[in-house]
Structure 1
Amino acid sequence: MLTAAVSFVLTAGGVAVAGLRAYRRRFLSATRWFAVALVPAGLYLTGLFPVARTIGGEFADWATKLVFDPRVWTGIVLLAVSAALLLATRWVGRRRAVDAAGSGPAAAVPAPGRAAVTGAPAGPGAAAPKSAAPKVAAPKSAAPKSAAPKRGKRDDGLGDFEDIEEILRRRGI
């Protein structure tokens, strides 16, 4: 009986606050207050207060045992060890997968005669990597290119495209 009285008093108080919020033209806030005000009456009418009391009591018993029972502490330690082992095996598995894929310490050194990722020569006698553009022999009448850039042209970083343009111009395209 006391639970019913407390539930309906809380609901009435919430509805009163919702009414004041609506009077001040704060309708969104009033709707929230009204929604929250309906919760205690709904919990009482559905019979969920005894369930909440049972859950609260069981939780309090567990918390008391947590503090005073060594068996519970042993269980917590076992759970921590289990979690640590699972995390460690996952970490080791990822390390092995990375090493097997070729990005581990053994793959960091380039093979002799092969260029490294940065494009630098791999060994002391290795040549720099060649450009991907195909080279076409220049006709005998063509003048060799000078190393200095031509006047009037600016360096816009498209030097590789100049070779392609020249090849296309020679072929009449």
Structure 2
Amino acid sequence: MLTAAVAFALTAGGVAVAGLRAYRRRFLSATRWFAVALLPAGLYLTGLFPVARTIGDEIADWAVKLVFDPRVWTGIVLLAVSAGLLVTTRWVGRRGAVTEGRESAAPAAGPAPVRPAVAPAGQGAQAEPKRAEKAKGAEKAKGAEKAKSAGKGKGDDGLGEFADIEEILRRRGI
């Protein structure tokens, strides 16, 4: 009987707060309060309060056994070892240390050659040598830039990155 009184008192209090929130035109908050206010009455009417009490008693009994029973500690150690093994194998698997009987693939020799998927209309096979020459020229230019930046060494004042920007500005006449 006391459980029913407490449940319905909580429900009435929650409905009152929901009404105040609705009066202040905070309808979303009022709806949330109303939904939460219905929980105690619903739990009482469905008979779940005794179930909750039983669950609480069982958790309390388990906690007492946790402190005093070495068998429970052995179970906790086994669970911790299991979790540790699962986490470790997941970590090792992601790092690629375990190949599972397969040999690891050798890295590619270099970047793939530059080839368009479709040749421009009317050029056919004649355009291939020109594109290959352009690609080789671009690779040489990149290599020269890398060598130039690597050659500066210790005397670099940190402004080498701005050389590209200066070149672009000169081309545009700025």
Normalising by structure 2, we get a TM-score of 0.57
Higher helix share: 2
Q: Residue 117 of structure 1 aligns with which residue?
A: 110
Quick check: 1:59 aligned with 2:22?
Answer: no
Distance between the aligned counterparts of 1:135 and 1:82, measured in 2?
A: 61
Unaligned runs of 5+ in 1: 109-114, 120-129, 137-157, 164-173
Task: Tell me by how many angstroms 1:91 deviates.
Answer: 4.9
Cα gap change, 1:86 to 1:161, in 2 (>3 Å): closer
Q: Which has the larger radius of gyration?
A: 1
Q: Residue 167 of structure 1 aligns with which residue?
A: none
Task: Tell me by how many angstroms 1:78 deviates.
Answer: 1.2
Greater Cα offset, 47-56 or 61-70:
61-70
Quick check: 1:101 aligned with 2:101?
Answer: no
Q: What amino acid does structure 1 have at the position aligned with 2:104?
A: A
Task: Tell me by how many angstroms 1:83 deviates.
Answer: 2.5
Question: Percentage identity across aligned positions?
Answer: 72
Pairing 1:1-173 to 2, within 5 Å after superposition: 1-91=1-91, 94-97=96-99, 100-102=103-105, 107=106, 116-117=109-110, 135=129, 160=134
Distance between the aligned counterparts of 2:103 and 2:87, measured in 1?
A: 20
Task: Tell me by how many angstroms 1:131 deviates.
Answer: 8.4
8 A Cα contact 2:114 2:135, kept in partner? no
Kindly indicate whether structure 1 or structure 2 has the higher relative contact order, using CA contacts under 8 Å at least 6 residues apart. 2
Distance between the aligned counterparts of 1:135 and 1:28, measured in 2?
A: 69
Normalising by structure 1, we get a TM-score of 0.58
- How many residue pairs were aligned? 122
Unaligned runs of 5+ in 2: 116-126, 138-174
Alpha-carbon RMSD:
3.4
8 A Cα contact 2:18 2:29, kept in partner? yes
Task: Tell me by how many angstroms 1:77 deviates.
Answer: 0.8
